[in-house]
């Protein structure tokens, strides 16, 4: 999981007329295609010059995007690779590479000193104590241009694989073990590759040249698929069939599906995290830098391989240190818990003291208000208690009016304020049994808020005297 999250990889697919580069990054969302680009090679140039042009393009691709120091995998055309399935006693598993190197001439018609090889274990039969292995071999002469490219790259190369292995890994990344066994067809500019996978291993691969438009290659593809299926799946279940690249004449391929020989898996590269990858082979090579994949066939000599990136290990160590520190802090938190509780209680006590002081202040304000009420209740202008005057004004004056100033002099009362309609206040106050001689003391005028500004004078009388009655 750590590898998938933090690792990245660069894949380089080399063809006769084109070089394609893909840069993949691992993330929480899965593997993402960060960047890709292709460059057309001049067929008129000698191979060494084309390799130098490819190296210049790749170095520029990496510098322009400021890609960090990550693993770089180079792919060669599948036509350079030969496969052979062999069986060994299970006992040789621990020294399988040495055994293969010693007995290679028994299985491959080439001198051991003229080849590079790698292998993949397909299955183990513990009951029969047998081991089934796929051997992949390339000629050193065929590999030389790609080794030259690795030397010209600023980052060097971490590995070198065939396009068959790259496409297989791309297929497994998309579909996993659910698509097994499978036939994968990958279109090239001048033909197509036919690849057979089973048990998470690359079993067979062949590059086929084809002329004319790709849309007319359907019958030829169907013929090769039928041949391969007859070799590896006699009377077996239908193989899964996947097509990568340009569209073909699917009428011929659909016929194979209808006959029960194959079952469609996917026709487009629009699954999982690599939607839109222009070069399936380049993306499959870049996947090698992101995480472990089923097909591991590296033809680059060990002494030329770029050392693995240490970023993931450093991150793991940093996470381990953080884990230890967090453990120490967690233990220390128990020691500090009691002190924290005491401090929290002290804070709560201080808060309650503050609230008690506020309550005492409110109590004093209430007492002060009560004293003022008693004072007003004791006053009797015009032989009427001041409290009765306040109650009468609050009942008579509507909510739309505001009293801003109230003056009392013996039995005379002066009101100053504003109202939506000041003229309606006079009859309301005249209806009171304790007010008489109600009149405006000044002309009504308009305020800034379009309300009437008024000043009203009236006389306070005792209800018993009857002066306020009309």
Q: Give me the DSSP letters along 213-232.
A: -GGG-HHHHHHHHHHHHHHH
Its domain, for residue 162, covers: 2-82+147-300
If asked whether residues 266 and 401 sit together in one domain, one would say no
Please report where in the chains the tokens 């051997």 appear, as a residue. Answer: 135
If asked whether residues 161 and 57 sit together in one domain, one would say yes
CA distance 209 to 283: 23
Within 267-326, strands assigned E span none
Quote the mean pLDDT of the chain.
84
If asked whether residues 366 and 388 sit together in one domain, one would say no
pLDDT at 1 over 70: no
110 in a domain, yes or no? no
- Closest residue by Cα to residue 444 from 465, 430, 469, 424: 424
If asked whether residues 7 and 40 sit together in one domain, one would say yes
If asked whether residues 385 and 271 sit together in one domain, one would say no
If you average pLDDT over residues 444-469, what whole number do you get? 77
Least confident among 14-23, 82-91, 208-217: 208-217
If asked whether residues 175 and 55 sit together in one domain, one would say yes
Beta carbons of 109 and 91 less than 8 angstroms apart:
no
The rounded Cα 216 to chain-centroid distance in angstroms is 41
If you average pLDDT over residues 114-130, what whole number do you get? 91
If asked whether residues 354 and 223 sit together in one domain, one would say no
If asked whether residues 271 and 367 sit together in one domain, one would say no
If you average pLDDT over residues 390-401, what whole number do you get? 84
Beta carbons of 21 and 10 less than 8 angstroms apart:
yes
- Prior bond to 181 cis, omega within 30? yes
What is the number of structural domains in the chain? 3
- Closest residue by Cα to residue 78 from 188, 162, 204: 162
CA distance 47 to 77: 14
If asked whether residues 156 and 248 sit together in one domain, one would say yes
Tokens of 409: 């002099």
Quick: pLDDT tens for 29-44: 778 888 999 999 998 8
């Amino acid at each position: 999981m750590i590898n998938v999250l933090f690792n990245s990889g660069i894949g380089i697919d080399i063809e006769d007329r084109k070089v394609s580069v893909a840069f993949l990054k691992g993330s929480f969302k899965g593997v993402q295609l960060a960047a890709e680009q292709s460059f057309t090679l001049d067929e008129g140039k000698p191979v060494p010059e084309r390799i130098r042009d490819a190296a210049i393009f790749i170095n520029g691709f990496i510098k322009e995007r400021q890609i960090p120091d990550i693993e770089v995998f180079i792919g060669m055309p599948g036509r350079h690779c030969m496969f052979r399935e062999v069986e060994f006693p299970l006992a040789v598993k621990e020294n399988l590479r040495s055994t293969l190197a010693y007995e290679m001439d028994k299985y491959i018609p080439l001198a051991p000193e003229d080849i590079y090889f790698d292998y993949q274990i397909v299955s183990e039969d513990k009951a029969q104590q047998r081991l089934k292995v796929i051997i992949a071999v390339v000629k050193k002469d065929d590999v030389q241009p790609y080794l030259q490219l690795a030397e010209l790259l600023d980052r060097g190369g971490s590995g070198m694989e065939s396009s068959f292995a790259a496409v297989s890994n791309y297929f497994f990344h998309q579909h996993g073990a659910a698509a097994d066994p499978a036939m994968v067809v990958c279109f090239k500019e001048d033909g197509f590759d036919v690849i057979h996978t089973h048990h998470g291993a690359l079993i067979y691969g062949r590059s086929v040249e084809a002329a004319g438009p790709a849309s007319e290659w359907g019958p030829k593809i169907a013929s090769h698929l039928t041949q391969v299926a007859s070799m590896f799946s006699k009377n077996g279940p239908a193989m899964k069939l996947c097509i990568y690249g340009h569209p073909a004449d699917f009428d011929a391929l659909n016929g194979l599906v209808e006959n029960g020989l194959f079952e469609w898996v996917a026709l487009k590269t629009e699954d999982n995290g690599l939607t839109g990858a222009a070069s399936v082979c380049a993306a499959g090579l870049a996947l090698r830098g992101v995480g472990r994949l089923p097909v591991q066939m590296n033809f680059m000599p060990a002494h030329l391989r770029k050392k693995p990136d240490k970023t993931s290990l450093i991150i793991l160590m940093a996470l381990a240190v953080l884990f230890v520190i967090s453990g120490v802090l967690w233990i220390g938190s128990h020691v500090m818990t009691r002190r924290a509780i005491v401090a929290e209680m002290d804070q709560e006590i201080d808060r309650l003291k503050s609230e008690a002081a506020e309550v005492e202040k409110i109590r004093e304000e209430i007492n002060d208000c009560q004293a003022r009420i008693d004072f007003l209740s004791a006053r009797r202008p015009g032989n009427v208690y001041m409290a009765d005057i306040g109650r009468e004004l609050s009942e008579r004056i509507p909510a739309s009016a505001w009293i801003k100033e109230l003056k009392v002099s013996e039995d005379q009362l002066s009101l100053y304020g504003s109202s939506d309609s000041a003229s309606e206040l006079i009859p309301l106050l005249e209806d009171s049994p304790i007010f008489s001689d109600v009149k405006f003391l000044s002309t009504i005028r308009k305020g800034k808020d379009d309300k009437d500004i008024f000043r009203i004078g009236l006389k306070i009388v005792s209800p018993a005297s009857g002066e306020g009655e009309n």
